[in-house]
Structure 1
Amino acid sequence: MNRVRPKLFLLDDWEGRIRSAPGARRLAELAELTVLDRPLAEVPDEDLADVRVVLAIRERTRFDRATFDRLPNLELILQTGGHAYHIDLAEAERRGIAVALWRSHDACEAAMRELTFALAVAALRRFPEATRAGDGGQWPGLLGGTLRGRRLGILGMGLQGRAVARLAQAFDMDVVAWARPGGSTDAADGIPRLPMEELLATSDVVSIHLRLSDESRGLLTAERLRSMKPGSVLVNTARGAIVDEDALVEVLRNGPLRAAGLDVFAHEPLPADSPLRSLPNVVLTPHIGWTVEEAFAEFAEGAAGQLEDYLAGKLDPAELRFPLPADRGRPDLVGGVAR
């Protein structure tokens, strides 16, 4: 039987961590691996004609109709994330392109919840003001606050939210979570569920851990931001579009917010003229919640496992954005479909 390895392009490995990870060796055994040293847009069309698999690093490359047109034989996107905001999923499904979502979570989840508390502490202890004063040769007597004894309100009690709740209890925080409309207020995890209005009005720190969806987009409106507890802190490591960013600037300038710790923004990269950059009570990080060395090793290993399963016709349907076409992932053809 003639078993030809599919051609696989590794995209956007800016840090060089995927190509050097042990999982990359497995990928090279399973496929003809090419590590791009430039954006996909700069690759000639003729070099893309026989690419069947791409390994995408989070949201760094957008897959729209024009991109798919340049990849006429693409059949599988190994997506190192639990979502696919940057992929035109309807177009991928129409073309029969499988999208395999990320199945390794440990390192990224740990990194993101640790950043949540780093941002909260930095905001409460006024790190931006202290740093700017120190850079100017000053030695300011800034009065900050501790996490201990404060209330943390969590928006989103999925995997990440639950882990943040456990860590918050280790900081001796009082933890509450948002009771979604129609949801139970008597949770088995022992974390009280509150209506949105009560959570915002009583929480000293509000932390967002929601997926971006039609329900969550714009969830924190101007009205809700203005209703937050005076002197409170907002932390967002989820998605910038969940918050009305213009209104956030207003409440950071005029109250009631004391400060914010933000890793995500409505438009990324954050524009150079964004007022968020000049506010003294904002801690900004450039969407680095997931960028840790351990996560890239997981990406490579997870992608290799998914590719191996796909080529054997055994890829778990739960890892796919939509069902795999019936003629894909056939074990008699490495690379799936005979084109």
Structure 2
Amino acid sequence: MAMMMMNLKRAATSAIRAFPAAPSSTGALARHLHGSVGESKKIVGVFYKANEYAEKNPNFLGCAENALGIRSWLESQGHQYIVTDDKDGPNSELEKHIPDLHVLISTPFHPAYVTAERIKKAKNLQLLLTAGIGSDHIDLPAAAAAGLTVAEVTGSNVVSVAEDELMRILILMRNFLPGYHQVINGEWDVAGIAYRAYDLEAKTIGTVGCGRIGKLLLQRLKPFGCNLLYHDRLKMEPDLEKQIGAKFEEDLDAMLPKCDVVVINTPLTEKTKCVLAVRIELCKFQFFQYRVDLGMFDKDRISKMKKGVLIVNNARGAIMDTQAVVDGCSSGQIGGYSGDVWYPQPAPKDHPWRYMPNQAMTPHISGTTIDAQLRYAAGVKDMLDRYFKGEDFPAQNYIVKEGQLASQYK
């Protein structure tokens, strides 16, 4: 018996040693930023190319050519600044720099997908910055486990996106795009537009997610005399709720059938996308399992909405089940779908949302107005300056800090 207990103890000890250590909540495994003060850093920025448009506006900072306007500042301090738009695949320009870069800057508009594999290769990487809002192009659990810091310029484009959402609601409600297409095609058919054009007044608008953007949208909708609803994990402040005249809906599936327009304002997290686990048996004793990401709004959820509902999504494309949106627009269950977010991005030429009826889609543009670019470029420069000095960032900018994810991504 004693020998058996000793053997069990040895086996347990070996198993514990073999099991990978969990990331430390105190940041003991973190690649500490404070230890790098005064050192020259290799910083890589990934942005879309503007080509002939790069010189048309001196404040067009979000493109590869103008690179947030921080090249001279970085190089004057002895740092290396590499900028590219080539970001995907094992032979991309970004991949060449993964092993020795210290900082990676990307945007939601032309995201550099930072996978667990890339994080493992990036031995010197300490800091991942999003020039804008939305860091779901990064494998956040892997970043947290590796002790990386992930931050974005919180608040930099909330006005831009809220204004864009209001525009899209009106475009869909007034059936604007068919009228525009008639003009450029030399046609004139008022009936082809008017039969499904409505006023916004007295319609019920619901936002799924009511953070900074959702609140601004509701404030801008108030003068239109709409019935305003919102679903979120947190209620807004009572005074603001009263001022806007919005009603909190705790149950999402109870809110959706009430809405003439549904606006998506929630981040992409494990909770906002549906995951279907598929088990395939190869034989009696073997099987493998894989995941299919369908989106928070799948065929079943869309079918429960009001027939002819209008949907605006400037949040993330993967929140929606791609084919369910196509089918809904084709059948008339969705009266119109508009947004500027796709999955993946950039969207391939054969992406079905490009060709579905009753859509008003654009490339990812809502958060990258010139005003927003000035804000997120300034925010990135501020965080880099703090990084070089070993100082903390504004608290609201952190997505991953010392092995911990921000609450909205948990």
Q: Closer, same or farther in 2 for the Cα pair 1:48/1:227, shift >3 Å?
A: closer
- State the match for 2:306 in structure 1: 229
1:113 offset after TM fit, Å? 0.9
Letter in 1 for 2:270: D
- State the match for 1:116 in structure 2: 165
Letter in 2 for 1:307: L
Alpha carbons 1:23, 1:297 under 8 Å: kept: no
Letter in 2 for 1:162: K
Matches within 5 A, 1:82-161: 82-99=133-150, 101-106=151-156, 108-141=157-190, 142-143=193-194, 144-161=197-214
Alpha carbons 1:128, 1:280 under 8 Å: kept: no
Q: Distance in 1 between matches of 2:259 and 2:96?
A: 56
Alpha carbons 2:45, 2:67 under 8 Å: kept: no
Alignment partner of 1:162 is 2:220: no
Q: Closer, same or farther in 2 for the Cα pair 1:197/1:14, shift >3 Å?
A: same
Letter in 2 for 1:310: Y
Which runs of 5 or more structure 2 residues have no equivalent in the other structure?
Answer: 1-36, 55-60, 274-294, 404-410
1:185 offset after TM fit, Å? 10
Q: Closer, same or farther in 2 for the Cα pair 1:127/1:45, shift >3 Å?
A: closer
Q: Distance in 1 between matches of 2:185 and 2:79?
A: 54
Deviation string, structure 1 residues 112-136 (Cα, Å, up to 9, x no partner): 1111112111112223322333333
Which runs of 5 or more structure 1 residues have no equivalent in the other structure?
Answer: 326-339
Q: Distance in 1 between matches of 2:107 and 2:198?
A: 37
1:266 offset after TM fit, Å? 3.6
- State the match for 1:214 in structure 2: 270
Q: Closer, same or farther in 2 for the Cα pair 1:29/1:212, shift >3 Å?
A: same
Task: Provide the TM-score with structure 1 as the length reference.
Answer: 0.81
SS in structure 2 opposite 1:214? coil
Alpha carbons 1:10, 1:34 under 8 Å: kept: yes
Q: Closer, same or farther in 2 for the Cα pair 1:28/1:302, shift >3 Å?
A: farther
Alpha carbons 2:152, 2:399 under 8 Å: kept: no
Alpha carbons 1:155, 1:207 under 8 Å: kept: yes
- Counterpart of 1:57 (choices 99, 107, 112) is 107
SS in structure 1 opposite 2:399? coil
Q: Distance in 2 between matches of 1:46 and 1:164?
A: 42
Letter in 2 for 1:86: H
Bigger Cα Rg: 2
Alpha carbons 2:49, 2:85 under 8 Å: kept: no
- State the match for 1:291 in structure 2: 368
Task: Provide the TM-score with structure 2 as the length reference.
Answer: 0.69
- State the match for 1:269 in structure 2: 346
- State the match for 1:76 in structure 2: 127
Deviation string, structure 1 residues 82-138 (Cα, Å, up to 9, x no partner): 442222334434444322x123524x1111111111211111222332233333321
- Counterpart of 1:247 (choices 312, 324, 327) is 324
Alpha carbons 2:45, 2:104 under 8 Å: kept: yes
Query: Percent identical across equivalent pairs?
Result: 22
Q: Closer, same or farther in 2 for the Cα pair 1:116/1:317, shift >3 Å?
A: closer
Give me the CA root mean square deviation.
3.0
Alpha carbons 2:152, 2:398 under 8 Å: kept: no
Deviation string, structure 1 residues 269-291 (Cα, Å, up to 9, x no partner): 33433443333311111122212
Deviation string, structure 1 residues 233-274 (Cα, Å, up to 9, x no partner): 111111122222322222222233321212223433334334
Alpha carbons 1:239, 1:264 under 8 Å: kept: yes
Pairs aligned (count): 320
Q: Closer, same or farther in 2 for the Cα pair 1:63/1:128, shift >3 Å?
A: same
1:47 offset after TM fit, Å? 6.2
Letter in 2 for 1:193: F
Q: Distance in 2 between matches of 1:207 and 1:124?
A: 13
